[in-house]
Amino acid sequence: MAASYIISVDLGGTKILSALLNDKNEIVSRVKVATDIEKGGDEIVLSISNSVRQILLENHLKEEDIKAVCLGVPGTVNPSTGIIAIAPNLGLVEYNIKEALSNQIDIPVLIENDVNLAGLGIKKYELNDDVKNMIVVFIGTGIGGALFFDGKIYRGSTFYAGEIGHMLVDAKGAFSISPIHSTFELTASRTAIVREVKKNLKRGKKSTVKEKKSLKSKALADALAKKDPVVVKQITKASKTIGTVLGSITTLLNIDTIVLGGGVIEAMHDFMMPIITKTFNESVLEAPGKCVKIFETKLGDDAALYGGIALAEEFLGN
């Protein structure tokens, strides 16, 4: 009997989310474990392989029942060789995760950048492949992007395409000439928002937020709901930057679809999306801007999991 399942793995800096998908494209089982990046790539791979084994055990399956393990990595990866060029949040450089994982499990292993994988999932299962030129941008701890031209994913000459978070911008979203603390990611991600909120707290600004080591998106959303002036200011600033950058990119690439996702958008979309859209319209060249649809993905974290199906189809066929 032919293998009829795939296992998608969304590898993050703090967690590994693995899911079993059946031949009806349904998620039937999930396993979440913590990511231990302190001991290096081999320990991460061991955690991934253990999560795969746990899924097999819980669902009474064998390795031969699985068509592929499709792994999304937060970094620059070569899907053909399986090599991670660099994944800063994992501390990995020039690491062949495909080979390492294949030594642990007897299932074909496919890898892709995590936002590319999410983009593949969105294109196929949220938009039914009915999209031509699209950018997918996930805003969370960092900022990542995925590009699609003429209905196909664009990975770039050396697989760095979509690294929108590393574009240099100033605080208003305009392009910057300074490489210090001025990337899009360091201006509009949750990390950037939290950094600026903490600076304001240290200056004695009144806020409902308590100074902590880490402020998650939910805590920011709660403060936003209370109309906290410090948080409102920083989320507004980030939203305007996002809109301006996306407007400039649309003028350059003449895309027709922009899909936003990630923890920051998911937690605060009601506040952010109108500002992003307004600033986008103020920033984009009028003619290409008219045909663009901007919206938040409804798949959330599941986007990358569904993307595993599209990745398997691309590299292994139907």
The domain that contains 76 carries what CATH number? 3.30.420.40
Count the domains in the chain: 2
- Residues 139 and 29: their CA atoms lie apart, in Å, by 26
Whether residues 277 and 138 fall in one domain: yes
Whether residues 74 and 143 fall in one domain: no
Q: According to the model, what pLDDT value does residue 147 have? A: 98
The answer to whether position 312 is within a domain reads: no
pTM, to two decimals:
0.92
The answer to whether position 115 is within a domain reads: no
Whether residues 191 and 65 fall in one domain: no
Whether residues 92 and 136 fall in one domain: no
Q: According to the model, what pLDDT value does residue 34 have? A: 86
- Residues 135 and 92: their CA atoms lie apart, in Å, by 26
Question: Of 55, 76, 107, which residue constitutes the final position of a domain?
Answer: 107
Question: Of 49, 74, 107, which residue constitutes the final position of a domain?
Answer: 107
Which residues of the chain, if any, have pLDDT below 50? Answer: none
Give residue 289's identity as a one-letter amino acid code.
Answer: G
The answer to whether position 21 is within a domain reads: yes
Q: What is the DSSP string of 94-132?
A: EEEHHHHHHTT-SS-EEEEEHHHHHHHHIIIIISTT--S
Q: According to the model, what pLDDT value does residue 305 have? A: 95
Range of the domain at 226: 121-296
- Residues 318 and 307: their CA atoms lie apart, in Å, by 14
The answer to whether position 315 is within a domain reads: no
CB 151 within 8 A of CB 129: yes
Q: According to the model, what pLDDT value does residue 82 have? A: 93
Give residue 14's identity as a one-letter amino acid code.
Answer: T
The answer to whether position 240 is within a domain reads: yes
